[in-house]
Every structure is written in C-alpha cells, then in structure tokens.
Structure 1
Amino acid sequence: MSQVLITGATGLVGGHLLRMLLNEPKIHSIAAPTRRPLPDTPGIYNPHDPQLTDALAQVTDPIDIVFCCLGTTRREAGSKEAFIHADYTLVVDTALTGKRLGAQHMLVVSAIGANAHSPFFYNRVKGEMEEVLMAQNWPRLTIVRPSMLLGERSKQRMNETIFAPLFRFLPGNWKSIEARDVASAMLAQALSPDHEGVTILSSSQLRERAAWKVS
C-alpha cells in the first residue's frame, strides 16, 4: 500500500490522476496540497494556501511516491518570472517535500523538447528543472515528456485551442496526447516493479503504457 503526494491536482493531467488515485486499491493515502481548495472528498488530505510552498509544509505524514503535475505557460503565468516560479521553483519544492517525508519515487510532468541548453525559454526552463531533480539522486525518478495535451480545461489555453487539432495528425512523439493517457501511464509506472534510476518517457511511450493499462 502506497502513500502519495501530488501537486498540480487542479490541473488537466493532475485532475485525471487524482481521480485515478482515489480508485486505485494499492493507494493507501493521498496528500494533495493546492493553491485553491479542492472539493471536499473523503480520502484526500488537501492543505491549501495561495503560496503552494506553505501548503506543502503542512504535509507531515510519510510519503512513498510523489507526483508533480504542475505546469503553465508564459502567457498564462503573466511573466517569465512567474513561469519560472510555477514550472521550476514549485516543482523543486514538491520534490524536496517528498524527500523530506521519505519518498522513494518521484514522477514529474515535463514537456517534449525539454533541454537545459535550448534557445527556447519554455524548453530551457523545463530542462533545467529536470536537471535539478536528477541531481537530487532519487532512487527512482520518472520524467514524462508529453506532446500537446488534449482534454477539457476550466480555462482554455490559446495555443492548445489553435494547434491541438493539427497535432492529432503529426507522427510519433509530436502527435498530441490525451491528458488522461498521461495520467494513466504515470500511475502504471508508479505501481510497476522497481526500476532504479532515471526513466524518461516520451509521448509515444506514454500512449503505449496507457494502452497497456487499459488492456
């Protein structure tokens, strides 16, 4: 039985994952710190604070697995600084909280093209985030790099609205992917037999693992 910490539970991938965690008999407890409160749901401990770091500090019980589904865009965040805070600083804070509470496996949503040396700001921040997590020497670290996400958001993102239909027809890793498939693949990976070290899952691999879990 596993005890889980999840951040990003109000988002697209995180929302799907939280519902899956609630229905997974191998999950014993769920801590889901958020910036705004979740609906009151039995089985979820939901400390909430506009400063997510303060909500994370309220989680004190031991944790086995950490899921981080935080993610935004520069446009949505409002500035480069706000984007870095959401997609880098808070992700690292999530990881440090998991470390503090004894977690052995961290799974994080990154993005296709993540590269700390990329000339593109978004990809560079994602890559820098990945490098910091790798340097923490997790017993198990799973980095997922989905392509364009599909699914119903409470607030639509302009780029996704415009480009998502086109990405459905792209080949391989560039083909868009349903957010629920990303969540399903993450859960399958978390509950799979131990595989030490770093695992990076491409968008194609995420689709395959989600299909295996369904079948």
Structure 2
Amino acid sequence: MARVLITGASGMVGGELLRLLQADERITAIVAPTRRALAAHAKLQNPVGSDLQALLLGLDQPVDVVFCCLGTTRSQAGSAEAFRHVDYQLAVDSGRCGQRLGAQHCLVVSAIGANPRSLFLYNRTKGQMEQTLREQNWSSLTVVRPSMLIGERSKPRLLEQLTFPLFRLLPGKWKTVAAKDVAKTLLVQAFNADRGVKILESDQLHC
C-alpha cells in the first residue's frame, strides 16, 4: 500500500496517471497540489493555489513515492525564465519535497533528447533537471523520456499540431507515444524494486 505525491496532475500525462492511481487498490492516498481544483475523489488530497512552491512547502503528511509530470513550453510559459521555473525549478522542488516527506522513489517525465549541455533551451533544461534530481541521491530514480505525446491537452500546442504527422511516421524512439502509455509505464515502474537510476527512452514506453 502506498501514499503518493504527484505534481502536474492537471496535465496530459499527469491526468492519465491520476486516473490510474485513483483506480489502483495499492494506492491509499494521493496528494496532488495544483493551481486549479481537480475533481473530488475519496483518495485525493488537492491543495490548490497559484504558487506551487508554497503548496509543496506546506505539505506535511508522509508519502512513499513522488511523481513529477510537470511540463510546459517557452511559448506557453511566456518567457525562457518562466519555462525554466516550471520544467526545472518546480520539478526539482517536487523531488525535494518528496524526500522531505520520506519518499524513496522519484519518477519524472522528462523528454527525448534531454541533455544538460544541449544548445536548445528545452532539451538543456530537461537535462539539467534530470542531473539535479540525480544529485538528490534517490534510492530509486526513474526518468521517462517520451517523444511527441498523443492525447488531449486543455490547451493545444501549435508546434505539436504541425509536426504530429511527421512524428507518427518516425522510427524507434522518435515515434509518437500515447500519454496513456507513459502514465501506465510510470505506475508499473513505481512498484518496481530496482534501485538506482533508470532511464526509459520513448520506444520503451509503449504499453
């Protein structure tokens, strides 16, 4: 039986994962801080506020596992700094909060091509986020790196809409992957007894 913390529960992967967690008998409690209220559920504790960092700092109940499904783009965030705040700082803060509450396993949604030395802001930020989570010295750290995601977004991303036909045809890890499959992989891995760092590329996420 497990208590979990999830950030990004209102997003595409996070929303799929939240539904799986609610239906899973092994999960006894779900702590999901969000900016907008989620639908009520018997297992769900949903602190709501505009400052996710403050919400994380205010948590005090123990958890066993932390899932970070946060993600945005520079255009959606409005600036490079705002993008990094979500995809780097809040992801790192999610891990730090989980450790403070006793979690032994952190699972995070990164992205294909994540590299802390990349010339591209998106890939560099994701790579730096992964690097910092490694430095937190988790007993178990699972990183999933999906390619372009298939699923319903509350706010469609124009670039994804334009490039989706191409990514459907690409081979291997570059091929599109369903958000549902990423969520299923996260749940399976949460109960995996492996220790250390595990990185799953996009072609390993098709369930």
- What is the aligned partner in structure 2 of residue 115 from structure 1? 115
Percent identical across equivalent pairs?
57
2: CA distance, partners of 1:176 / 1:114: 16
What amino acid is the match of 1:48? V
TM-score scaled by length of structure 1: 0.95
TM-score scaled by length of structure 2: 0.98
Question: C-alpha displacement at 1:43, in angstroms?
Answer: 1.2
- What is the aligned partner in structure 1 of residue 162 from structure 2? 162
Question: C-alpha displacement at 1:40, in angstroms?
Answer: 2.2
Structure 1 segments unaligned to the other structure (5+ residues): 211-215
Residue pairs, 1:34-45, within 5 angstroms: 34-45=34-45
2: CA distance, partners of 1:180 / 1:145: 14
What amino acid is the match of 2:80? K
Please say if 1:57 is aligned against 2:65: no
- What is the aligned partner in structure 1 of residue 99 from structure 2? 99
Please say if 1:135 is aligned against 2:135: yes
3-state secondary structure, aligned to 2:200: strand
Question: C-alpha displacement at 1:48, in angstroms?
Answer: 1.1
User: 1:61-94, CA deviations, whole angstroms, 9 ceiling, x for partnerless residues?
Assistant: 1110000000000111110000000000000110
Higher mean Cα deviation, 94-103 or 48-57?
Answer: 48-57
What amino acid is the match of 1:141? L
1: CA distance, partners of 2:7 / 2:165: 28
User: 1:196-215, CA deviations, whole angstroms, 9 ceiling, x for partnerless residues?
Assistant: 100000001111xx2xxxxx
3-state secondary structure, aligned to 1:107: strand
1: CA distance, partners of 2:69 / 2:24: 18
User: 1:149-174, CA deviations, whole angstroms, 9 ceiling, x for partnerless residues?
Assistant: 01111110011111112211100000
Question: C-alpha displacement at 1:55, in angstroms?
Answer: 1.4
2: CA distance, partners of 1:121 / 1:89: 14
Residues 37 and 48 in structure 1, CA contact (< 8 A), matched pair in contact too? yes
